[in-house]
Structure 1
Amino acid sequence: MSLLAGLILKLLGWTYADNVPQVDKCILIVAPHTSNWDFVLGICLKTALKLELSYLGKDSLFTWYSGWFFRSLGGIPVNRHQHHNIVAQVVDSFENSDHLWLALSPEGTRSRLDYWRSGFYYMALAAAVPVVTVYIDAKTKSLGFGPIVQLTGDISADMAIFSAFYQNKIGICPERTNPVRLKENVKP
């Protein structure tokens, strides 16, 4: 499957870096998330690099006929409109695992917003795990890993690192790219 996934990426004209971080536990933030193709590319990258990871996905994808498919790819359904203390559940999962990579899109949607959702930040901070940056850059048609960030609790300083890294990354639908800032940092 690994070779097939790499071949699919190549046939689609995409390249990927194989600089896989050497950490046992982390939250991977994947950005910019602007198209349904991001999921396909992400699954190809995961498979090509033989990564064992999970991801949170909107529960509407996990229907009786498609749920098995998304779960087989590492998916965990989440109702985005009912929070049910997801941060605490994720922290508990990290505490009870020897190896856990959890991939999230901090934008939370393919739609244009003025901010990123903060869940990834509070999950990583509370679980004391690093945040691994993962990019999808349509301009260069490349995928890969960026800096590994151990959060300090200084939201402005930590977000500045993410902003600097993602500032030149272009999504497949660039008009949907969101500014790299949390909702708390958006002026009304």
Structure 2
Amino acid sequence: MAGTSPLSRSRPKPSNRTGVFASLMRNLAALMLAVTGWKLEGDWPQDAEKAVLVAAPHTSNWDGLWMIFAAAYYRVKLRWMGKKSLVDHPLGWFVKWLGCVPVDRKSASDIVEQTAAAFAESDRLTLAVAPEGTRSAMTEWKSGFYRIAIKAGVPLIITVLDYGTRTVKIAGLFQPTGDYQADLPLIKAYYANAEGRHKGNFSLNAGED
């Protein structure tokens, strides 16, 4: 219900990042989430300075907005992969500041290697990746999010964007073992009851009404 506090169930603990701007954005995000009726659940992992954030379900452009608000509340700057051309101009620094991690699809090194290199060059990086890879219905997740975590040697942060309960949940850290086929069912289990904005497009229940 609109107006419900995002802190009504508990008071999720943010990251250990501090600063006036981070605090301001956190308060603004809490207000926006309250006004729109979204709630937060789960504490931010304090020992994850570098991680791949699993962003699912992803069935709508609205998903990014709720994730941005949630990240701001947790005092985390989400970063995302974008084409290198997005930063190859005088205002490229601003695009990077917004969170873009540029990747060159024409490079000899693949995207996984380029992204792993970005992790190595950063002291702190939370990279949001939608495993479905598209807002349209998919029957399988793409493995890029997992391969990036393995190559960079970082954990996964499991986040569940559930439109059914209007909750953004931080389910916790998942340490990938390197066995994708064994780990994937364990990761997907966190999303068993989640609903995307367009329910039938979520890959766990693709094809349903």
Matches within 5 A, 1:22-41: 22=46, 23-41=48-66
Unaligned runs of 5+ in 1: 181-188
Matches within 5 A, 1:159-170: 159-170=184-195
Matches within 5 A, 1:79-94: 85-94=110-119
Q: Deviations over 1:9-55 (max 9, x none)?
A: 11111001250012111111110001111011011111122103311
User: How many Å separate the matches in 2 of 1:60 and 1:175?
Assistant: 33
Q: Say yes or no: does 1:123 pair with 2:135.
A: no
Q: 1:9 is matched with which residue?
A: 33
Q: Say yes or no: does 1:73 pair with 2:98.
A: yes
Matches within 5 A, 1:75-154: 75-77=100-102, 85-154=110-179
Q: 2:20 is matched with which residue?
A: none
Unaligned runs of 5+ in 2: 1-24
Shift of 1:127: 1.4
Q: 1:185 is matched with which residue?
A: none
Identity of counterpart residues, as a percentage?
Answer: 39
C-alpha contact (below 8 Å) 1:132/1:145 kept by paired residues: yes
Q: 1:19 is matched with which residue?
A: 43
The number of residue pairs the alignment matches comes to: 179
Alignment RMSD: 2.7
Q: Deviations over 1:65-88 (max 9, x none)?
A: x98876443133557799961100
TM-score, normalised via structure 2 length: 0.75
DSSP 3-state at the match of 1:144:
strand
TM-score, normalised via structure 1 length: 0.83
Q: Judging changes above 3 Å, is the alpha-carbon distance between structure 1 residues 11 and 70 closer, same or farther for their aligned structure 2 residues?
A: farther
Q: Deviations over 1:127-178 (max 9, x none)?
A: 1111111110011100021131111111122101111111111111101101
C-alpha contact (below 8 Å) 1:31/1:105 kept by paired residues: yes
Larger Rg: 2
